[in-house]
Amino acid sequence: MTNEELVSRIQAGIDVAENMVDLWQQNRGFIGQMARKYSQLAEEDDLI
């Protein structure tokens, strides 16, 4: 399922917890990249 589809389902209240986990897992690599990029401003764990 695409990010957009997952977000639509979350906003519609459909299996919110499960879809949030799926969205996180699909974007974990990107989120980690962004956290590393800005880690000089804050702790990486705080950014994630």
Range of the structural domain that residue 31 is part of: 3-47
Instruction: Quick: pLDDT tens for 26-35.
Output: 999 998 888 8
pLDDT at 44 over 90: no
How much is the pTM?
0.74
Q: Please report the pLDDT score of residue 47 as a whole number.
A: 64
Within 10 angstroms of residue 16's Cβ, the number of other Cβ atoms is 12
pLDDT at 48 over 70: no
CA dist 26 and 20 (Å) reads 10
Q: Which residues contact 3 (CB under 8 A, 6 or more apart)?
A: 23, 26, 27
Question: How many domains are there within the chain?
Answer: 1
Within 10 angstroms of residue 41's Cβ, the number of other Cβ atoms is 8
Structure tokens that stand for 47 in this block: 């950014």
